[in-house]
Structure 1
């Protein structure tokens, strides 16, 4: 920028000198107002430019300052969040440097952890807080935020529809004969004699005694719903082969007809005298 300024000044000076010198060397020094006017104006213009700008070197300095000022203005207008984040980031840099020199400053590690958390650097925040804790300094707010705890929330309201729920247990003599690899089938029909179950659930015998819940999700007939039936009979069967049609030693029991809308808990106890005649177990509200 300074070379251009001085080059322009020198060129203008040469032009002014030429306007005066050429008539002198031509032997016919004829000066008129038109001839003298440029020779006077050109130096004055050069001096005016210099007085306006000052040192040519200052032009680039002032320009860079103006750029920084404009950037600062744009940042302020762009939002306080960016400005705040930049300030915290600057604080983090300074804290890191200081803590390298003073690693036993527990309060400094706490402040660094908070700063890291503010700018979203969770891993670094945890590491900084661990350093503070190793020095015997803790902070309840950081404990909660960095451990992933969130404010207590209300449990979701259940929107589940009608269902059949209950428990299956084995009498001691039956339990002695059932192996963990056996299969427990829980299914519901309109009557015990009905061949095709409406709802079915399969569990490993290793989970006995177990709880169950039959809902629309276990429907065997597409589009059917538990609420469509006034009463249903729940049957439990143990199978060694894993086939629903096979019953191990007649270990099977059915409930009396139960309304899916009643909300009762059904207790089904498989006893040793259970046989193909399907003895009925009663609902238990305990």
Structure 2
């Protein structure tokens, strides 16, 4: 914002310098100086020219009087009276010319002051009317404004729910608002108040399970029960299928994970990013279950010829490891429960991660280790890369897709098998 104001002020000042230049030239007497240095033929200001013309006329008339008196055409008394009258006329004309010049100069100075004031005022007024002042805010300031807006909405909802504790729809809205802000305990409490409608709605059950998972980082207990109940109510519910597949994968039930995700894949647009991510998950689940696929399938079948698994020795040889830290300057912009994604990406080639690890801000600093067992796709693994880079992102939404306001950092390019990598999260995603 400061840079913009300095630039705008500099441009306004430059415009004023150019527009006020004629007034400065008159004030400093540059026209008179120009006349003196260029000779009698130079153009004079109008007031000076009028005074010089009057003087010349009066001089000619006085010369005529002197010649008439010398030739005896007029008496001495008449000559004296005429000469005195000419002198008075010359004085009067000179005073009138100077007064006119002073009036013009005063008017020009007033015009100059008006221009100096009105130009910046008009520029500021037009920007306020037609511009976008919010665009001057930094990403951190915009995020702070957005957070303040959501917190204000939450505060009003909390007051409303205190007066209407039986409003289950209001509790659902409040729970979702808490979820956006990463307030998992409050979100759980709000979903619990809305239990009469949550227990009958597959999407709400899946959202509730997601909140519990974010809070405990475990599928055991209520998260598992909510996912199972959601699928009983609506076997094709996308959110429930996604979470069920994740639970099965975490429990090493890779065939079940692939099955859930294949059912989800049939509902997605094959060209969408979501479909590609789900297809990559299916491929990884099949490989971990004893198969190796050539590419993620986007037709929902997910069937490819089985190939042998990578050996533990190969995994160890290509693994990369190191430490991730959060810059102290950005610590205030995070909450302990926010999700941290640690990616290994090839320096050249596809942007699809070679391997991913997920932790929380509360775990930082964190000693990570990435290998082929964490690959997102059998075609893109750490062992197949020439050089790779470790990238880290604190996700405000908890999702893998980057968003404005996320925090990020990256390390130097390294080869597979490198240890002791150091990455600092020190930037804000614009």
Interval containing the TM-score (normalised by the shorter chain): 0.3 to 0.5
TM-score (norm 1): 0.37
- Higher fraction of strand: 1
